[in-house]
Amino acid sequence: MISIPTVTLADGVSFPEVGFGTYGLRGDDGTDAIVSAVQAGYRLLDSAVNYENEGEVGEAVRRSGLDRDELIVTTKIPGRDHGYDEARRSAHESLDRLGLDRIDLYLIHWPNPSVDKYVDTWRAMIDLRAEGLVRSIGVSNFTEAMLDRLHGETGVMPVVNQVELHPYFPQASLRAYHATHGIRTESWSPLARRSELLSEPVIGDLATEPGISPTQVVLRWHVQVGATPIPKSAHAGRQRENADVFGFTLTDDQVAAISALERGRLWGGDPNTHEEM
Protein backbone atom coordinates (compact mmCIF):
# COMPACT_ATOMS: atom_id res chain seq x y z
CA MET A 1 0.00 0.00 0.00
CA ILE A 2 1.26 3.47 -0.88
CA SER A 3 1.45 6.12 1.82
CA ILE A 4 0.25 9.35 0.18
CA PRO A 5 1.73 12.48 1.80
CA THR A 6 -0.56 15.21 3.07
CA VAL A 7 -0.68 18.98 3.31
CA THR A 8 -2.62 20.97 5.90
CA LEU A 9 -5.71 22.88 4.78
CA ALA A 10 -6.46 26.36 6.11
CA ASP A 11 -8.96 24.79 8.53
CA GLY A 12 -6.27 22.48 9.96
CA VAL A 13 -7.37 19.27 8.23
CA SER A 14 -4.68 16.95 6.79
CA PHE A 15 -5.33 16.63 3.09
CA PRO A 16 -3.74 14.09 0.69
CA GLU A 17 -1.54 15.27 -2.14
CA VAL A 18 -3.30 12.79 -4.46
CA GLY A 19 -6.97 11.77 -4.23
CA PHE A 20 -9.32 9.46 -6.12
CA GLY A 21 -12.02 10.52 -8.62
CA THR A 22 -15.15 8.39 -8.80
CA TYR A 23 -17.11 9.81 -11.74
CA GLY A 24 -18.62 6.85 -13.63
CA LEU A 25 -17.95 4.31 -10.86
CA ARG A 26 -21.38 2.92 -10.07
CA GLY A 27 -23.01 -0.33 -9.03
CA ASP A 28 -21.17 -3.30 -7.55
CA ASP A 29 -18.21 -2.88 -9.91
CA GLY A 30 -18.01 0.76 -8.90
CA THR A 31 -18.01 -0.08 -5.20
CA ASP A 32 -15.33 -2.73 -5.78
CA ALA A 33 -13.19 -0.20 -7.65
CA ILE A 34 -13.49 2.36 -4.84
CA VAL A 35 -12.61 -0.28 -2.20
CA SER A 36 -9.59 -1.24 -4.26
CA ALA A 37 -8.51 2.41 -4.42
CA VAL A 38 -8.66 2.67 -0.64
CA GLN A 39 -6.66 -0.56 -0.38
CA ALA A 40 -4.09 0.98 -2.73
CA GLY A 41 -3.66 3.88 -0.29
CA TYR A 42 -6.09 6.63 -1.41
CA ARG A 43 -7.67 8.46 1.51
CA LEU A 44 -9.48 11.27 -0.38
CA LEU A 45 -12.58 10.17 -2.35
CA ASP A 46 -14.36 12.55 -4.72
CA SER A 47 -18.09 12.08 -5.33
CA ALA A 48 -21.04 14.35 -6.18
CA VAL A 49 -24.83 14.16 -6.15
CA ASN A 50 -24.69 14.29 -9.92
CA TYR A 51 -22.42 11.22 -10.14
CA GLU A 52 -25.28 9.18 -8.65
CA ASN A 53 -22.76 7.10 -6.70
CA GLU A 54 -22.86 8.45 -3.16
CA GLY A 55 -24.31 5.08 -2.08
CA GLU A 56 -21.38 3.24 -3.64
CA VAL A 57 -18.87 5.59 -1.99
CA GLY A 58 -20.48 5.16 1.44
CA GLU A 59 -20.55 1.38 0.99
CA ALA A 60 -16.88 1.38 -0.01
CA VAL A 61 -16.02 3.37 3.13
CA ARG A 62 -17.75 0.77 5.28
CA ARG A 63 -16.21 -2.17 3.39
CA SER A 64 -12.72 -0.66 3.55
CA GLY A 65 -12.46 -1.56 7.22
CA LEU A 66 -10.56 1.68 7.87
CA ASP A 67 -11.30 3.93 10.77
CA ARG A 68 -13.82 6.48 9.50
CA ASP A 69 -11.52 9.38 10.41
CA GLU A 70 -8.82 8.12 8.05
CA LEU A 71 -10.94 8.90 4.99
CA ILE A 72 -12.00 12.20 3.47
CA VAL A 73 -15.32 11.74 1.68
CA THR A 74 -16.17 14.57 -0.69
CA THR A 75 -19.54 15.30 -2.21
CA LYS A 76 -20.94 18.31 -4.03
CA ILE A 77 -24.15 20.35 -4.14
CA PRO A 78 -25.70 20.35 -7.62
CA GLY A 79 -27.00 23.52 -9.25
CA ARG A 80 -30.63 22.54 -8.73
CA ASP A 81 -30.04 22.62 -4.94
CA HIS A 82 -28.59 26.13 -4.76
CA GLY A 83 -30.15 28.39 -2.11
CA TYR A 84 -29.99 28.33 1.70
CA ASP A 85 -32.85 25.91 2.46
CA GLU A 86 -32.23 23.83 -0.65
CA ALA A 87 -28.56 23.33 0.22
CA ARG A 88 -29.40 22.24 3.76
CA ARG A 89 -31.91 19.72 2.43
CA SER A 90 -29.38 18.54 -0.17
CA ALA A 91 -26.76 17.91 2.54
CA HIS A 92 -29.16 15.75 4.55
CA GLU A 93 -30.10 13.80 1.41
CA SER A 94 -26.41 13.23 0.60
CA LEU A 95 -25.76 12.02 4.15
CA ASP A 96 -28.66 9.57 3.82
CA ARG A 97 -27.37 8.23 0.49
CA LEU A 98 -23.81 7.98 1.81
CA GLY A 99 -25.03 6.33 4.99
CA LEU A 100 -22.53 8.45 6.92
CA ASP A 101 -23.01 10.97 9.71
CA ARG A 102 -20.56 13.51 8.30
CA ILE A 103 -19.42 14.82 4.93
CA ASP A 104 -15.69 15.49 5.23
CA LEU A 105 -15.37 17.90 2.32
CA TYR A 106 -18.48 19.58 0.97
CA LEU A 107 -18.24 21.56 -2.28
CA ILE A 108 -20.54 23.73 -4.41
CA HIS A 109 -20.21 21.82 -7.68
CA TRP A 110 -20.61 24.77 -10.09
CA PRO A 111 -21.31 28.44 -9.34
CA ASN A 112 -24.15 28.76 -11.90
CA PRO A 113 -23.82 32.58 -11.81
CA SER A 114 -26.96 33.26 -13.85
CA VAL A 115 -28.99 31.77 -10.97
CA ASP A 116 -26.97 33.90 -8.51
CA LYS A 117 -27.59 31.77 -5.42
CA TYR A 118 -24.10 30.57 -4.64
CA VAL A 119 -23.63 33.01 -1.74
CA ASP A 120 -26.82 31.76 -0.03
CA THR A 121 -25.64 28.22 -0.68
CA TRP A 122 -22.33 29.09 0.95
CA ARG A 123 -24.11 30.49 4.04
CA ALA A 124 -25.87 27.15 4.44
CA MET A 125 -22.54 25.34 4.21
CA ILE A 126 -21.05 27.57 6.90
CA ASP A 127 -23.97 26.64 9.18
CA LEU A 128 -23.73 22.93 8.34
CA ARG A 129 -20.07 23.05 9.33
CA ALA A 130 -20.94 24.73 12.64
CA GLU A 131 -23.47 21.95 13.28
CA GLY A 132 -20.84 19.25 12.66
CA LEU A 133 -22.58 17.67 9.67
CA VAL A 134 -19.76 18.82 7.41
CA ARG A 135 -16.08 19.16 8.30
CA SER A 136 -14.38 21.21 5.55
CA ILE A 137 -16.19 23.47 3.11
CA GLY A 138 -15.04 24.44 -0.34
CA VAL A 139 -16.13 25.07 -3.89
CA SER A 140 -15.56 23.80 -7.39
CA ASN A 141 -15.21 25.71 -10.63
CA PHE A 142 -15.09 29.13 -8.94
CA THR A 143 -13.23 32.10 -10.41
CA GLU A 144 -11.15 34.58 -8.42
CA ALA A 145 -13.99 37.15 -8.56
CA MET A 146 -16.47 34.57 -7.22
CA LEU A 147 -14.09 33.60 -4.40
CA ASP A 148 -13.63 37.27 -3.52
CA ARG A 149 -17.39 37.68 -3.39
CA LEU A 150 -17.91 34.66 -1.10
CA HIS A 151 -15.30 36.01 1.27
CA GLY A 152 -16.54 39.60 1.03
CA GLU A 153 -20.16 38.70 1.80
CA THR A 154 -19.62 36.01 4.46
CA GLY A 155 -16.09 36.50 5.83
CA VAL A 156 -15.37 32.81 5.14
CA MET A 157 -13.04 31.68 2.37
CA PRO A 158 -13.35 28.14 0.92
CA VAL A 159 -10.46 25.86 1.91
CA VAL A 160 -10.52 24.05 -1.46
CA ASN A 161 -11.36 25.02 -5.05
CA GLN A 162 -11.63 21.99 -7.34
CA VAL A 163 -11.12 23.09 -10.94
CA GLU A 164 -10.24 21.76 -14.36
CA LEU A 165 -6.45 21.54 -14.28
CA HIS A 166 -3.94 19.54 -16.30
CA PRO A 167 -0.90 20.41 -18.43
CA TYR A 168 -3.16 21.63 -21.25
CA PHE A 169 -4.85 24.02 -18.77
CA PRO A 170 -2.40 24.77 -15.96
CA GLN A 171 -4.38 27.69 -14.45
CA ALA A 172 -1.25 29.49 -13.20
CA SER A 173 -3.02 32.70 -12.25
CA LEU A 174 -5.84 30.97 -10.35
CA ARG A 175 -3.27 28.80 -8.53
CA ALA A 176 -1.35 31.92 -7.51
CA TYR A 177 -4.56 33.46 -6.14
CA HIS A 178 -5.27 30.25 -4.20
CA ALA A 179 -1.77 30.27 -2.72
CA THR A 180 -2.22 33.87 -1.56
CA HIS A 181 -5.61 33.18 0.02
CA GLY A 182 -4.95 29.82 1.69
CA ILE A 183 -7.05 27.77 -0.72
CA ARG A 184 -5.91 24.29 -1.71
CA THR A 185 -6.20 23.64 -5.45
CA GLU A 186 -7.73 20.31 -6.45
CA SER A 187 -7.33 19.24 -10.10
CA TRP A 188 -10.28 17.61 -11.84
CA SER A 189 -9.64 15.55 -14.98
CA PRO A 190 -5.93 15.67 -14.04
CA LEU A 191 -5.03 13.27 -16.85
CA ALA A 192 -7.11 15.30 -19.30
CA ARG A 193 -9.28 12.17 -19.43
CA ARG A 194 -6.50 10.15 -21.05
CA SER A 195 -6.52 12.30 -24.16
CA GLU A 196 -3.47 12.69 -26.39
CA LEU A 197 -1.79 14.34 -23.40
CA LEU A 198 -0.17 11.05 -22.40
CA SER A 199 1.44 10.79 -25.86
CA GLU A 200 2.98 14.26 -25.80
CA PRO A 201 6.75 13.94 -26.48
CA VAL A 202 7.65 16.19 -23.53
CA ILE A 203 5.81 13.76 -21.25
CA GLY A 204 7.14 10.64 -22.96
CA ASP A 205 10.73 11.92 -22.82
CA LEU A 206 10.48 12.13 -19.03
CA ALA A 207 8.98 8.65 -18.70
CA THR A 208 11.98 6.69 -19.89
CA GLU A 209 13.15 5.45 -16.49
CA PRO A 210 11.78 2.09 -15.36
CA GLY A 211 8.85 2.65 -13.02
CA ILE A 212 7.99 6.12 -14.34
CA SER A 213 5.07 6.12 -16.78
CA PRO A 214 3.63 9.11 -18.69
CA THR A 215 0.67 9.11 -16.33
CA GLN A 216 2.99 9.32 -13.34
CA VAL A 217 4.90 12.22 -14.93
CA VAL A 218 1.62 14.13 -15.32
CA LEU A 219 0.48 13.40 -11.78
CA ARG A 220 3.91 14.31 -10.38
CA TRP A 221 3.61 17.63 -12.23
CA HIS A 222 0.33 18.31 -10.34
CA VAL A 223 2.02 17.56 -7.03
CA GLN A 224 4.91 19.90 -7.81
CA VAL A 225 2.68 22.79 -8.91
CA GLY A 226 0.93 22.48 -5.54
CA ALA A 227 -2.37 20.94 -6.62
CA THR A 228 -4.05 17.72 -5.46
CA PRO A 229 -5.03 15.65 -8.53
CA ILE A 230 -7.97 13.25 -8.24
CA PRO A 231 -7.39 10.74 -11.07
CA LYS A 232 -10.13 8.20 -11.70
CA SER A 233 -9.40 4.62 -12.67
CA ALA A 234 -11.57 1.54 -12.50
CA HIS A 235 -8.49 -0.70 -12.50
CA ALA A 236 -6.45 -1.65 -9.44
CA GLY A 237 -3.11 -1.62 -11.28
CA ARG A 238 -3.68 1.88 -12.65
CA GLN A 239 -4.93 3.07 -9.27
CA ARG A 240 -1.63 1.97 -7.73
CA GLU A 241 0.36 3.52 -10.57
CA ASN A 242 -1.47 6.85 -10.15
CA ALA A 243 -0.80 6.99 -6.40
CA ASP A 244 2.86 6.03 -6.75
CA VAL A 245 4.33 9.42 -7.65
CA PHE A 246 6.39 10.22 -4.56
CA GLY A 247 9.57 8.33 -5.46
CA PHE A 248 10.88 10.77 -8.06
CA THR A 249 11.10 14.52 -8.63
CA LEU A 250 10.87 16.71 -11.73
CA THR A 251 13.28 19.61 -12.10
CA ASP A 252 11.91 23.16 -12.31
CA ASP A 253 12.74 23.17 -16.02
CA GLN A 254 10.83 19.93 -16.55
CA VAL A 255 7.81 21.31 -14.70
CA ALA A 256 8.00 24.44 -16.88
CA ALA A 257 8.26 22.35 -20.07
CA ILE A 258 5.11 20.43 -19.14
CA SER A 259 3.27 23.65 -18.25
CA ALA A 260 4.19 24.98 -21.71
CA LEU A 261 1.73 22.47 -23.20
CA GLU A 262 -0.98 24.97 -22.25
CA ARG A 263 -3.79 25.32 -24.78
CA GLY A 264 -6.88 26.12 -22.64
CA ARG A 265 -10.00 24.41 -21.36
CA LEU A 266 -10.75 21.12 -23.07
CA TRP A 267 -14.48 20.79 -22.49
CA GLY A 268 -15.82 24.33 -22.58
CA GLY A 269 -16.65 24.35 -18.87
CA ASP A 270 -16.27 28.09 -18.32
CA PRO A 271 -17.56 28.83 -14.78
CA ASN A 272 -18.89 32.20 -15.96
CA THR A 273 -21.28 30.57 -18.41
CA HIS A 274 -21.51 26.82 -17.74
CA GLU A 275 -24.71 25.84 -15.94
CA GLU A 276 -24.80 22.43 -14.30
CA MET A 277 -28.08 21.51 -12.65
Ligand X SMILES: O=C(O)C(=O)[C@@H](O)[C@H](O)C(=O)CO
Ligand Y SMILES: NC(=O)C1=CN([C@@H]2O[C@H](COP(=O)(O)OP(=O)(O)OC[C@H]3O[C@@H](n4cnc5c(N)ncnc54)[C@H](OP(=O)(O)O)[C@@H]3O)[C@@H](O)[C@H]2O)C=CC1
User: What residues make contact with ligand Y under the rule CB under 6 A?
Assistant: 21-23, 46, 109, 140-141, 162, 188-194, 215, 230-235, 238, 241-242
Among ligand Y, ligand X, none, partner that 220 touches (CB below 5 to 8 angstroms by kind): none
Among ligand Y, ligand X, none, partner that 194 touches (CB below 5 to 8 angstroms by kind): ligand Y
Among ligand Y, ligand X, none, partner that 22 touches (CB below 5 to 8 angstroms by kind): ligand Y
Q: Shortest Cβ distance from residue 48 to ligand X (Å)?
A: 5
**By CB under 6 A, is residue 133 in contact with ligand X?**
no
The correct pick among 23, 84, 177, 246 for binding ligand X (CB under 6 A) is 23
Give the DSSP letter string of the chain.
-----EEE-TTS-EEESS-EE-TT--HHHHHHHHHHHHHHT--EEE--GGGT-HHHHHHHHHHH---GGG-EEEEEE-GGG-SHHHHHHHHHHHHHHHT-S-EEEEEES---TTT--HHHHHHHHHHHHHTTSEEEEEEES--HHHHHHHHHHHS---SEEEEE-BTTB--HHHHHHHHHHT-EEEEESTTGGGSGGGG-HHHHTT--STT--HHHHHHHHHHHTTEEE----SSHHHHHHHH--SS----HHHHHHHHTT----SS---TTT----
* 51 in catalytic set: yes
The correct pick among 33, 45, 48, 146 for binding ligand X (CB under 6 A) is 48
**Considering 51, 106, 118, 168, which one is annotated as catalytic?**
51
Q: Shortest Cβ distance from residue 91 to ligand X (Å)?
A: 18
Nearer to ligand X, 58 or 78 (CB): 78
Among ligand X, ligand Y, none, partner that 102 touches (CB below 5 to 8 angstroms by kind): none
What is the footprint of ligand X within residues 229-268 (CB under 6 A)? 267-268
**By CB under 6 A, is residue 226 in contact with ligand X?**
no
Catalytically active residues are 51
Question: Site residues (CB under 6 A) for ligand X?
Answer: 23, 48, 267-269, 276
